[in-house]
Amino acid sequence: MNKLLPYLFLLAFSTKYDSKQQEFIARQGQVSFFSYTSVENIEAKNNQVLSILDIEKKEIAVSMLMRAFVFKKDLMYEHFNESYIESDIYPKAYFQGKILDFDASQKTQTKIIRGKLTIHGITKEIDIKTTIEDTGGNYNLYGGFEVRVKDFDIKIPPILSSNIAKNISLKFRFQYQPYDE
């Protein structure tokens, strides 16, 4: 038995190192949004989005600070954070979902991620069409979707309703690397 013990340790450790990485992290993912109106387009980008991707469980989680969005005009930033998103009360947005029909053997695939999006303290189920690329040990995910402002209880004064679109287009891009604890 004592002679088998070193071999069991060797087998246990070699199995761990031979297994393919299953968890990935994107520390600087990008999310942008665009609101088109006849008065003025509103566009912002956030390059400080954190995301975890678990290939084995086919799950993804995203967290982003709302104050990290960058606007072309300071006044847009101020209105977004103070009047609409209320970033002091709701500092983050979250998404947690499952990749449907994911096949880890494919290099590039377009799949639906079904999950829950939380913005402004309101959580809604959504489906997001996403392109997933396996770049040889890393993953890229990108895509876009629309959200309705009223679904997340974001109040827009009637006098400003023509300045903000009822549907906001969002785009995202995450470049994942193996997650090492």
Q: What is the pLDDT of residues 94-136, one digit of tens each?
A: 999 999 999 999 999 999 999 999 999 999 999 999 999 999 8
* pLDDT one-digit tens code per residue, 16-69: 443 568 999 999 999 999 998 777 889 999 999 999 999 999 999 999 999 999
The per-residue pLDDT for 20 is 65
112 contact partners, CB below 8 Å, separation of at least 6:
99, 100, 101, 127, 128, 129, 130
The per-residue pLDDT for 12 is 44
User: What whole-number distance in Å separates Cα of residue 12 and Cα of residue 35?
Assistant: 54
The per-residue pLDDT for 51 is 98
Choose between 25 and 155: higher pLDDT.
Answer: 25
Average pLDDT over residues 75-98: 94
Q: Which CATH architecture has domain 22-178?
A: Beta Barrel (2.40)
The pTM is what? 0.84
Backbone angles phi, psi at 13, to 5 degrees: -75, -35
- Please, how many CA atoms are within 13 Å of residue 124, restricted to the half-sphere of its CB? 14
